[in-house]
Chain A
């Protein structure tokens, strides 16, 4: 694959950079960055400064490290527990969801079997089912078999990604040439062996894309844990932060806005890092996708 010319391919056609376009883009970037800047700036303020200083200005003292310390010590360090829960949910769910979607998408793309189109239609139809329509019956179902308020209540529903299966199906149709599978069959290799030795490498950029989406979905998950979990010791970060937020307003409020803001910042960082790390694979996935056309 000659991927080199892709990035620069249009330089000949549009030699000059456009000022008007740059201005539009700068406005869009500012809009995107202001909330993040707000988060970053306010994570350095003490609770007092937060209430007294201008939203986008720094406070009278630089309190970031005290805030971080307090986030981890508040309420017997429940934040670290939430953090580890989130990591557990993400690793098991996103990893599992990616493997299941890859096997399924590959199976539908590369094999002709009875019921194939029915399977595909049912799974695709499920993409349109609202998560909340499922969450409540899932809760009732799980509570009747005692799974509610355990990690399984979060992990099992998160293992199924109809959209991931769809992505892997499109990716496998294009990235894995049937000729290679045919050749492997003639060599006498079993289908699963072929999958794990040959196909999986060709699928790698697609796998990373699905993994990335699954990680983001699980890390962001709020509704499912909200319904399934009542014990704060199983909360993921999202639910824990929401709980801190709820308890810092209203009557009997425990105002800990500085902890919510700093805790939010800390909750974003791993995802941004994962994102930038996977970005390279993911962009090569996009480039490979555009080469085939």
Chain B
């Protein structure tokens, strides 16, 4: 690191007016205050809610873990979990491979104007998720959309992205479109940290492009892969915006229990079942956290220094 100020820093340290110990807290406390209001308090409140139930007679009463027992045997909930799990298994690898190929290609030095590709592929990240779903919704539209135009040109209903069979794939496509460029930039940034000498050494050893990718680039991407995988998994399990916004044009394909989050939302806002809704949200949070933790453990040890 090119720091020239360091020369005089070994002067004998006198006891300071402000001990360093408390200064650290002073920097962290503003964040922690809002963290407590916006995250800790709701979590505690959700746990509290999940232990009660509104009875027809006598109002709210403590029911222990009864809501959890109900959630564990609730087929609507588990169908939703299965659906987002299936979504994750398919969407996350496709998206990350897209991002990886793009990042490696842009970093390879074998493209003309790599910056141009980088900016264009990153563009969807600047598009609000709601707008992305609206655009794709119009494209998918069987009556007036692009897909509708193509079908009427072909003279048959070839593409039916909004039917129950295809709607999950159609949502996966939207998610790939929205986030592949973002993940590409994370990979690209990680590739940029590889010192040039490594590549020079590899080429002196006669390593080809694929050998370099396998032995130098992929190991350098390990941390970035773990981070992007974890965030993609969290995103999959939180799936809400896309199905909720496609619902008006695909009412038969997207039910009120389509994903666990949609289920929790509808329980609370159309069913007024706040206690059970909070329980579903907590169980989903736990499942997500466990999976993210497993990925983190398997993926890397280096990250924690």
Contact = CB atoms under 8 A, between A and B. Distances in A.
Interface string B215-256: 000000000000000100010011011001100110100000
Interface residues of B, number: 113
Nearest to B31: A104
A220 interface: yes
Interface in B159-205: 177, 180-181, 189, 192-196, 199-200, 203
A125 B21 CA distance: 24
Contact of A113 (B18, B22, B177, B193): B22
A84 interface: no
Nearest to A5: B196
Interface string A42-73: 10000000110011100000000000000000
Interface in A242-293: 242, 245-246, 249-250, 257, 260-261, 264, 267-268, 271-272, 274-276, 279, 286-287, 289-290, 292-293
Interface in A213-228: 216, 219-220, 222-223, 226-227
Given A104-B30, A128-B234, A28 B126 contact: no
B299 interface: no
Interface string B79-110: 00000000000000000001001100111111
Given A113-B25, A179-B5, A55 B139 contact: yes
A293 B137 CA distance: 44
A137 B234 contact: no
A36 B123 contact: yes
8 contacts: A10-B199, A32-B181, A103-B27, A104-B32, A111-B20, A180-B3, A267-B131, A271-B127
Interface of A: 1, 5-6, 9-11, 13-14, 16-18, 21-22, 24-25, 28-29, 31-33, 35-36, 38-39, 42, 50-51, 54-56, 100-101, 103-104, 106-108, 110-116, 119, 123, 125-134, 136-141, 156-157, 159-160, 162, 165, 177, 179-180, 182-183, 185-186, 190-192, 195, 216, 219-220, 222-223, 226-227, 237-239, 241-242, 245-246, 249-250, 257, 260-261, 264, 267-268, 271-272, 274-276, 279, 286-287, 289-290, 292-293
